[in-house]
Amino acid sequence: MDLALLEATLASAGQPRFRAKQVWEWAARGATGYEAMTNLPATLRERLAEAVPFSTLTPVHETQSRDGTLKVLFHTADGRPVEAVLMRYRDGRRSLCLSSQSGCPLTCTFCATGAMKFGRNLSAGEILDQALHFRRIEDVDHAVFMGMGEPLMNLEGVLAAARRLPDLGITHRRTTISTVGWLPGIERLISDPAPIRLALSLHAPDDALRSQIMPVNERYPLADVLAACRRWNERKKRRVFIEYVMLAGVNDRYEQALQLAELLGTDTFKVNLIPYNPTGTAYEGSSREAIDAFRAVLEEHGVPVTVRLTRGRDIDAACGQLAAARASVTCSRAC
């Protein structure tokens, strides 16, 4: 929902200020339309239904994985594709993977989103509407900004959306923003008081390799990014998550694990090794044995480490696979 448009419409209808809050509370609790908002006068509900679309996004395709993961492709009002994912875990956790941009201007070589055309930053409303879509289906309790785009290139939109997530049941401590290491954004997060979590997509233990697989490293080199993460950690007293996608023969060797352990130390970071999800690039994922061996080296050196549970790979909903492949298909059918 475009909350600015909502407020303007309510103001021009001469409504008191608390109306916007009432509407938002209904939406955040999973209402499916204005007609459900029984504490609003019926005439106002009708007026809102005409003037303020209930969502800024139109779902155009939905896919469910064997593991319960649900991926939805939306279109914005100007026809930009956006994907978001609901991950369902056995322990009952329900985690949303939200997009901050349509496409991504960065060109990480292993990621499908970077290979599609960059559209634009999403508004706070468009980010929230991804979350509200799933909230209407079931209760949700975690969110990660790990969908399409680089959240810290759209920090205003992302923070404005994140600030409202607690109303949907997702506290700041259960909200994580993931970045390639966009330095100005990390600096900005250091001074933001919300206890939102930070994740850094590192993927290489040295500048040469990192620049090769993530061109953004030329702009913001490793030492500067890690120094900013250390400042974030000092301020927030929380570990920074390190994402490290395991690419066979590229970044998964024994010496690289040692180098990574030395680079990170034991106190500030927690490493999350990510099995590579196929995206049609030339890379191959590390074997299970290689991942376990890499993990063991980090553990031996006292670096906290986990291996990410892959969700939704059979429907291209896993990390790095969001690319709106169906956008054109669905669109040409509809047209």
For the CB of residue 148, give the shortest distance to ligand SAH in the complex, in Å: 8
For the CB of residue 216, give the shortest distance to ligand SAH in the complex, in Å: 9
Q: Which is nearer to ligand SAH, 83 or 243 (CB)?
A: 243
Displacement of CA 205 from its chain's centroid (Å): 23
For the CB of residue 275, give the shortest distance to ligand SAH in the complex, in Å: 7
Residue 137: CB atoms within 10 A of its CB come to 12
For the chain, what is the radius of gyration of the CA atoms?
21
Closest CA to 170 of 124, 135, 130: 135
Q: Is-contact 186 152, C-beta < 8 A?
A: yes
Residue owning tokens 């369902």:
88
Q: Which is nearer to ligand SAH, 133 or 203 (CB)?
A: 203
Q: Which is nearer to ligand SAH, 157 or 320 (CB)?
A: 320
Catalytic residue among 25, 46, 83, 335: 83
Catalytic residue among 104, 111, 229, 319: 319
Pairing status of strand 94-97 against strand 81-88: antiparallel
What is the DSSP-derived secondary structure letter of residue 201? E
Which positions touch ligand SAH (CB under 6 A)? 108, 110-111, 146, 150-151, 178-180, 201, 243, 245, 274, 276-277, 279, 319-320
Rounded distance, CA 24 to CA 6, Å? 9
The one-letter code for the residue type at 17 is R
Residue owning tokens 């506290």:
171
Shortest-Cβ-distance residue relative to ligand SAH: 320
Q: What are the backbone angles phi and psi of residue 141, rounded to the nearest 5°?
A: -140, -5
For the CB of residue 325, give the shortest distance to ligand SAH in the complex, in Å: 14
Q: Which is nearer to ligand SAH, 27 or 180 (CB)?
A: 180
For the CB of residue 105, give the shortest distance to ligand SAH in the complex, in Å: 10
Angle between helices 155-164 and 183-191 (to 10 degrees): 40
262 is catalytic: no
Entry field: residues in the chain: 335
Q: Which is nearer to ligand SAH, 2 or 243 (CB)?
A: 243
83 is catalytic: yes
Rounded distance, CA 37 to CA 286, Å? 51
Q: Which residues carry out catalysis?
A: 83, 319
